Structure 1
């Protein structure tokens, strides 16, 4: 079973890493809002089916609807939309590299709002090291062909910030409720799907079907696998490997995003970009190694520990 778990680990890293490619190609035909609408709906369907098979959805959960709505915004609607907008403005390889800061935003939010996440010198060094890598990639001192679209970088930062806040929100308000993570995910994606269906402008959306490869990447790659099935793999790994080992999967998608952008979309990637990506991931590693786990970590239920990890783009 351990070997099977590590196969799932690699599959999950691949699913999350490929989302940048699928997001980028789809944005060449339809709007970011349309991309996210398809992504969330296609991701919601397998999660809903799995939740129903597991019988984890209960009517009494509806009394916590206000929490589910907040999470749908932070960890789905706004998060995915911000990343989709950022990826539409940036090379997918750059967006992939910048996504490596997600665990940093999670740490910052936890340090501000959760007393159980103390800040120490090692964590601060990790933050500084990681954000130095971000600056090297973003090159805010350059403009035009030599720099990246700063607005695209801002969108990625907004999305990362939403993930950080969602991490804190779950820890403070949802984890104590003892609701199954799969149920929470179902409510989160379901509410997001309804929200997007209400606000999305579907004009010109049929353009996605002019290219069957891009359409398949969006519906199957980004939606079903990159969102829905990825969630199920994520929680499977939590149960089999634990939260700490599963956290290692967050180091791989930025590298896959860089490689797919360079090798498949022919986006330029310099040696400096590779070094900067290594700095970001090293910063994340330093932060994680500098964190002091709570004394109750060994007795915490899987339902609670499942929310100690950041989610992906």
Structure 2
């Protein structure tokens, strides 16, 4: 049976679309940060992202009552892969240029590898991977520019929060692998649980007083509700699972190369951010580091993994 051209290229279209969606998240966070606190940004993002994910999970029959016995693990995942992760990125983006923040998001696999080395004895500690981590973190250090004279342009605090978010979501992959992989939970179900638990936690910590000026700013409001929530969180997870199911988990993880580039392009050409040449060089170093990590041990796995999306931002 010959596939139609549209169906044949659908995974590729989905792959590129996901990279663009995730790459645009940083400018949406930047606009929202003019009116909202990072915690508020994260709460509304998770709320509007949870709805399509939950509906999709129910429609596909992925949610099971038996999963309730793993509630404590879902709660931990909600902290690592949702609340702390999104908060770190929202806070970091509010302090940095959106393009720079997007570039730093490319370091997520580096932090995932560090966490794996620390908590998974079976993790391959090859020279190539270690070299990749050093190169990648050299890129992060260049962006941080700790010895520069103008810390307002490249804010160390912002870099630290981005690193916190990357470390948190990177650790979530290790946690899911150690405590949830054996249970063979559908990824969309795990995403539903972690977003749901995260929503409850954030509801206890969030100030719901939103300035009227925020809703009056259509760019900021639409960016948060549609860009970050429905597209950047809800639809992005669904698209990711589709890519995993059609192209495989390893191929799907390559989408992490796209968001930093998209974020940089948006920052420079659409917003006019004064991004320095060193940031482009640093981004290239991060890419090389991630490539050395992912290219060292191919895994012909075509099944979905029970962890949150790799590189989701």
Q: TM-score, normalised by structure 2?
A: 0.94
**1:144-293 alignment, distance < 5 Å:** 144=150, 147-291=153-297, 293=299
Change (3 A) 1:184 1:195: same
Q: Deviations over 1:222-251 (max 9, x none)?
A: 110000100000111000000111111000
Is 1:302 paired with 2:303?
Answer: yes
Change (3 A) 1:40 1:146: closer
SS of equivalent residue, structure 1 residue 281: helix
Are 2:38 and 2:91, in contact at CA under 8 Å, matched by a contact in 1? Answer: yes
**1:63-212 alignment, distance < 5 Å:** 63-144=69-150, 147-212=153-218
Is 1:46 paired with 2:52?
Answer: yes
Cα distance in 2, alignment partners of residues 35 and 309 from structure 1: 20
**Gaps (5+ residues) in structure 1?**
none
Q: Deviations over 1:197-218 (max 9, x none)?
A: 1210122343320201211011
Cα distance in 1, alignment partners of residues 259 and 119 from structure 2: 27
Shift of 1:309: 6.0
**1:29-44 alignment, distance < 5 Å:** 29-44=35-50
**Gaps (5+ residues) in structure 2?**
1-6
RMSD: 1.7
Cα distance in 1, alignment partners of residues 48 and 307 from structure 2: 23
SS of equivalent residue, structure 1 residue 290: coil
Are 1:123 and 1:291, in contact at CA under 8 Å, matched by a contact in 2? Answer: no
SS of equivalent residue, structure 1 residue 252: helix
Cα distance in 1, alignment partners of residues 110 and 210 from structure 2: 37
Cα distance in 2, alignment partners of residues 178 and 285 from structure 1: 28
Cα distance in 2, alignment partners of residues 306 and 284 from structure 1: 21
Shift of 1:307: 3.4
Change (3 A) 1:2 1:103: farther
SS of equivalent residue, structure 2 residue 154: coil
**1:6-21 alignment, distance < 5 Å:** 6-21=12-27
The aligned counterpart of 2:4 is none
Change (3 A) 1:146 1:212: closer
- The structure in which a higher percent of residues are helix is 1
Are 1:19 and 1:226, in contact at CA under 8 Å, matched by a contact in 2? Answer: yes
SS of equivalent residue, structure 2 residue 222: helix
